[in-house]
Amino acid sequence: MRALLASALLAFAPWAVTAAPAEAVRESTVAAPSRFETFTVALPTLGVERTLRVYLPRGYTNCEGCRYPVVYFMDGQNVFDAATSYVGEWGADEALDELLVKHDLAVIAVGVDHGGEARMNELSVWENPEFKPARGEAFLADLVDAVKPAIDARYRTRPAAASTTIIGSSMGGLMAHAALLRHPEVFGGAIIFSPSYWFSPAIAPETARTPLRPGQRVYVYAGGQESESMVPQARAMFETFSVRSPSTRLNFLEDPNAGHNEAAWRAALPTALCWRFAPICEPC
């Protein structure tokens, strides 16, 4: 009896040690796992390794002579799979599969993982006093000199700038903006969703003095339910692009009902991709 009482007291004692419940393994939502690959690449300028998540178009394996444009997504954990994202996924794999069926648009998509707690530092080339040091220059150098060469060596890509696009949202949108300005020889297009232009006052003057190259394509998107400054800042930056780069193909989209989240960017992605690759998939 005493043994039973002691056991009961131990079970309910505040100092009693209990095993933590195992975290449930979330099921992958990748549309076609057989066409989805992950591997790590060294980023020597940042001094880290980073995971790349690659989604190949249907028919890639059997079309040995085919070469494909490449779309690079920032925040790769959130692009294809709800199991690797804590905020939901973009559904880029489903969007690309549907565009292939409807419009014969075949694209290789690459998600470049963010650096977790270092994300804010890594995704801006511009300084912010609250998020020092800015390490975006290093990230961008590695994107150009390590990530893209690794993808071009491993897959049958079209490596020219005209076939290379960068996509990002929020801070990722800021990196897409920087890549477009600072490496036009690499990135012929950018899809900039909900960009964090609040991050630094240095973004606007650099944009104003840096005309884009003829032929570059820029798609800027903002949601009306994100913040009071989101749409005005995005529209102002878009107008700067328009004035400085009249020979560049530009598009601006405002969704008055959209917030700052993956669900909104998922909804906006197919139209943005269609526009980027026009006239292949017009009308979308």
Kindly report, residue by residue over 115-150, the tens digit of the pLDDT. 999 999 999 999 999 998 999 999 999 999 999 999
Query: Looking at residues 216-240, what average pLDDT do you find?
Result: 96
pTM above 0.85, yes or no: yes
Coil, helix or strand at residue 81: coil
User: How large a percentage of the chain has pLDDT more than 70?
Assistant: 90
| Preceding amide of 279 cis, omega within 30 | yes
Cα Rg for the chain, rounded, in angstroms?
22
185 near 164, Cβ under 8 Å?
no
What whole-number percentage of the chain has pLDDT above 90?
Answer: 84
Q: Which two tokens stand for residue 119?
A: 């994300």
Is the model's pLDDT at 174 over the cut of 90? yes
Which pLDDT belongs to residue 25?
67
Q: Which SS3 state, helix, strand or coil, does residue 163 take?
A: helix
E-only strand ranges, the chain: 36-43, 48-55, 70-73, 108-112, 164-169, 189-193, 217-223, 249-255
Q: Is the pLDDT of residue 238 over 80?
A: yes
Instruction: Using the CB atoms, write b or e for 187-215: b if 16+ within 10 Å.
Output: bbbbbbbbbbbebbeebeeebeeebbeee
